[in-house]
């Protein structure tokens, strides 16, 4: 750790006991702490006790991940928002300055989470109990009452529930970006899921995919599942749901998968006048046959055996 950062952190801790004025951490400080392998909980504690605030853009998130900042810390930074735009860029001498990650010294409590209405509902997460999971409650990521995918590992967070909450926040940002598609990429050799929207100049980070995620899906899919394969599959699955509910076009990304026919059936029901307009996607799903509903659940909980990765969904370094 640099002498400058040691002085800043020491001063911040001392000041807590002698004054209400505390030195705030900058984004550069958080990066330095992360690269020096400080535990996430210690970094988060410093952010909280120094009342630090950050003004992050969607394009900053993959850059922070690439620089070694964990998902857990980034989510804390996203919640610690500034009161007004009095921020400044990283020091020109810093190697991270070209990333245009903004830091600020003024702060206020993060606003309450707002729910983005889409498909007659919103994104949420709920416990998903599976056979063989014991007392471990997995978390299903849902859109308007329909299961999209299941998180079965903490992925660097303190719990699966907190990881699901973070993913919901990012999917809400994607919903605000409007029409678009999901694509897999790699950051520091780790597969990640990004959203490319027509109203954003940079992709929106959604979540990382770990070896533990892939193994958990492999156990329930009856096939070999790698992190790269799971990233490609999730990107196609979410893109198809986005095609139906936002892009208003026929889903085609999983058209060659047997269970993918259920998504086309869902679209055909979706374009009909809804019986319950305020719950349009859930209404469309419930009007499908029981077998088609089972196929939708299979898409959310496994990687189908006939799913393969093509060139359009290969993992590349952004």
Indicate the pLDDT class of residue 5, thresholds 50, 70 and 90. low
Question: Tokens in use for 296?
Answer: 């939708």
CA distance 149 to 84: 37
Contact 192, 208 (CB under 8 A): yes
Report, as an integer, the average pLDDT of 83-102. Answer: 37
Using one digit for the tens of pLDDT, what is the confidence trace for 14-38? 444 334 344 678 888 898 888 888 8
Using one digit for the tens of pLDDT, what is the confidence trace for 233-269? 999 999 999 999 999 999 999 999 999 999 999 999 9
- Tell whether pTM > 0.85: no
CA–chain centroid gap for 278, Å, is 26
CA distance 235 to 184: 6
pLDDT value at residue 155: 87
Using one digit for the tens of pLDDT, what is the confidence trace for 126-179? 999 887 666 668 999 999 999 999 999 998 888 999 999 989 988 988 998 899
The residue among 312, 151, 306, 299 whose CA lies nearest residue 238 is 299
Indicate the pLDDT class of residue 119, thresholds 50, 70 and 90. confident
**What string of DSSP letters covers 117-181?**
PBTTB-EEEEEE--TT-TT--EEEEEETTEEEEEE-S-TTSSSHHHHHHHHHHHHHHHHHT-SEE
Residue 225 in this model has a pLDDT that exceeds 90: yes
190: β partners: 187
């Amino acid at each position: 750790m640099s002498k400058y950062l040691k002085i800043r952190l020491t001063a911040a801790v001392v000041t807590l006991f002698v004054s209400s004025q505390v030195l705030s951490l900058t984004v550069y400080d958080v990066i330095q702490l992360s690269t020096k392998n400080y535990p996430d909980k210690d970094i988060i504690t410093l952010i909280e006790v120094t009342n630090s605030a950050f003004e992050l853009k969607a394009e900053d998130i993959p850059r922070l991940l690439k620089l070694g900042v964990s998902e857990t810390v980034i989510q804390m930074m996203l919640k610690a928002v500034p009161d007004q735009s009095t921020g400044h860029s990283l020091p020109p001498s810093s190697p991270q300055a070209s990333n245009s990650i903004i830091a600020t010294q003024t702060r206020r409590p993060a606003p309450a989470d707002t729910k983005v209405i889409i498909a007659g509902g919103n994104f949420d997460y709920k416990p998903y109990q599976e056979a063989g999971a014991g007392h471990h409650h997995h978390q299903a990521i849902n859109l308007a009452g329909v299961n999209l995918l299941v998180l079965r590992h903490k992925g660097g967070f303190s719990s699966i529930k907190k990881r699901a909450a973070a993913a919901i926040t990012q999917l809400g940002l994607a919903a605000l970006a409007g029409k678009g598609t999901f694509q897999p990429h790699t950051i520091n050799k780790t597969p990640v899921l990004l959203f490319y929207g027509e109203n954003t100049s940079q992709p929106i980070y959604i979540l990382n995919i770990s070896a533990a995620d892939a193994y958990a899906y492999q156990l329930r899919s009856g096939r070999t599942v790698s992190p790269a394969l799971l990233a490609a599959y999730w990107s196609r699955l979410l893109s198809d749901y986005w095609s139906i509910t936002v892009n208003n076009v026929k889903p085609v990304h999983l058209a060659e998968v047997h269970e993918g026919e259920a998504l086309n059936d869902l679209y055909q029901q979706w374009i009909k006048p809804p019986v319950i307009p305020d719950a349009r996607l859930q209404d469309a799903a419930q009007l499908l046959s029981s077998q088609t509903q089972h196929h939708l659940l299979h898409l959310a909980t496994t990687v189908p055996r006939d799913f393969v990765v093509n060139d359009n969904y290969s993992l590349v370094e952004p």
